[in-house]
Every structure is written in structure tokens, then in C-alpha cells.
């Protein structure tokens, strides 16, 4: 999933704009070397506690990488809101506004940390003598604009979407601009997808 997101057009564009595309490309390359032996590692993990620990480290890095990618995609959404002009005044607070310099510094630091941890995990794989091969499980390389999102990620989120929309509509009835509504949770829960669902809902477009 992380590999697919790294290949998305939207993420490529914003990473280039923020000057971190080269680092993300290196992370993608390292992920591909790990993916080549991942299937063999999963098959053999029951035979080795060390291999289980290694896979656990890898999973932790993936979850943290998902969080970083979520922030990038949320920033892309915020930029889209800014570019919408007429709706900017009311909707801008729905997304956490980031100081550009602070965002660049923080993202650069987070990406560097992810890369270092991933390189460390990748270096450890050699001691397990894993066999490379073709993992035939499908990895979707998402190429999307922010007007659309993967419907596979939407399942089970309709209720969450309705709750957020209700809060936004209530805010719109009483004040000129909406309040901040944070969407929090561990990596991989679909926070960015949920924000996209709300942003693209017809009621949001009509009212804001």
C-alpha cells in the first residue's frame, strides 16, 4: 500500500513542490528491495522468532510512513481548498493550516527518520538468507486527482463521514467559518480518505 501511494501523481507533485521528492524516491527504491523477499519472509516467520521481530519492525516503519503520507495528502487537500477561492474563507479551518516553513522542516525531518529506519531494517534482511521472487499479490499503483479516491478504502466510513458533515453543517448555521475538526488515529485507518470523502460530498460543495 505504501508503494502504491508513493507512486501516486498527487503525492509526486506535492513532494516535488516541498523539495522532498528525492528522499521519497530513495524510500520507494528501498521498499522495492524489501518487497522482493517479503513473501519468503512471511512464509518462514513461524520458524524464526528473529524473523518475526524483523517483520514487526518493518510493520512499524510502514505505519509511521503511512502517517507521513497522510500529512502530505492532507496538505495537498489544503492547497486545493486554498485554490478554490470562494470557499477558502469558510472551509480553510477544516484542514489544519500549516506554516509552510515549519511544514517543510517537519516533513523533511520525518522523512529522513523514516528513511534511516527503513535502511536499517533493509540491511538486516540479509542475515535471514531470504529468497527473492515475484510477489504476485496485487499492489495498486494509485494515480488519482483529489477529486476522486479509491472506493476500496471507503467501506465502513460512511457513518464517520456523516458525523463530520453534520458537525460542519451545524457550524455553518451559527458562524461565518467552520471550526477545526481533527481526524486522528493510527496509520492506515484511512484518515485522508475520510477527509476526501467529506471534501467531495455534494453538501459541502453546495454550502461552502
Residue 59 maps to a domain: yes
- Model confidence pLDDT, tens digit, residues 101-142: 777 888 889 999 999 999 999 999 989 988 876 555 444 333
Residue 157 maps to a domain: no
Q: What is the pLDDT along the chain (208 residues), one digit of tens a residue?
A: 677 777 777 778 778 877 888 999 999 999 989 988 988 898 899 889 999 999 999 999 988 888 888 887 777 777 766 665 544 444 444 444 456 677 788 888 999 999 999 999 999 998 998 887 655 544 433 333 334 445 445 555 678 788 888 877 775 555 555 455 667 665 556 677 777 788 788 887 777 6
Residue 187 maps to a domain: no
Tell me, what's the pLDDT at 185? 63
C-alpha count within 13 angstroms, C-beta hemisphere, residue 45: 13
d(CA 152, CA 155): 6
d(CA 202, CA 94): 16
Residue 189 maps to a domain: no
d(CA 111, CA 78): 20
Residue 137 maps to a domain: yes
Residue 192 maps to a domain: no
Quote the number of domains for the chain.
1
156: region left, alpha or beta (phi > 0 left; psi from -120 to 50 alpha): left
Residue 158 maps to a domain: no
Residue 123 maps to a domain: yes
**Comparing C-alpha atoms, which of 37, 3, 20, 29 is closest to residue 134?**
37
C-alpha cell at 154: 471507503
d(CA 22, CA 59): 23
Which residue shows C-alpha cell 488515529?
185
Which residue shows C-alpha cell 521528492?
21
- Per the structure, the complete domain to which residue 142 belongs is given by 2-149
DSSP for 7-38? Answer: T-HHHHHHHHHTT-HHHHHHHHHHHHHHHHHH
**What pTM value is reported for the model?**
0.59
Is-contact 32 64, C-beta < 8 A?
no
Residues in contact with 6: Cβ distance below 8 Å, sequence separation at least 6, in sequence order: 24, 27, 28, 31, 69
Task: Count CB atoms within 10 A of the CB of residue 83.
Answer: 9
Amino acid at each position: 500500500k505504501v508503494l502504491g501511494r508513493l507512486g501516486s501523481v498527487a503525492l509526486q507533485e506535492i513532494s516535488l513542490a516541498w523539495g522532498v521528492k528525492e528522499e521519497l524516491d530513495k524510500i520507494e527504491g528501498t521498499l522495492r528491495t524489501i518487497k522482493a523477499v517479503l513473501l519468503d519472509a512471511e512464509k518462514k516467520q513461524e520458524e524464526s522468532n528473529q524473523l518475526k521481530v524483523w517483520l514487526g519492525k518493518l510493520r512499524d516503519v510502514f505505519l509511521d510512513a503511512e502517517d507521513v503520507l497522510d500529512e502530505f495528502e492532507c496538505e495537498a487537500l489544503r492547497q486545493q481548498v486554498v485554490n478554490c477561492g470562494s470557499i477558502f474563507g469558510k472551509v480553510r479551518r477544516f484542514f489544519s493550516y500549516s506554516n509552510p516553513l515549519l511544514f517543510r522542516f517537519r516533513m523533511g525531518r520525518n522523512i529522513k527518520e523514516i528513511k534511516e529506519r527503513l535502511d536499517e531494517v533493509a540491511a538486516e534482511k540479509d542475515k535471514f538468507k531470504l529468497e527473492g521472487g515475484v510477489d504476485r499479490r496485487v499492489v495498486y499503483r494509485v494515480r488519482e486527482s483529489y477529486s476522486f479516491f479509491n472506493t476500496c478504502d471507503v467501506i465502513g466510513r460512511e457513518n464517520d463521514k456523516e458525523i463530520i458533515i453534520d458537525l460542519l453543517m451545524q457550524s455553518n448555521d451559527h458562524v461565518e467559518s467552520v471550526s477545526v475538526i481533527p481526524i486522528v488515529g493510527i496509520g492506515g485507518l484511512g484518515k485522508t480518505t475520510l477527509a476526501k470523502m467529506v471534501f467531495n460530498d455534494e453538501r459541502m460543495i453546495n454550502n461552502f
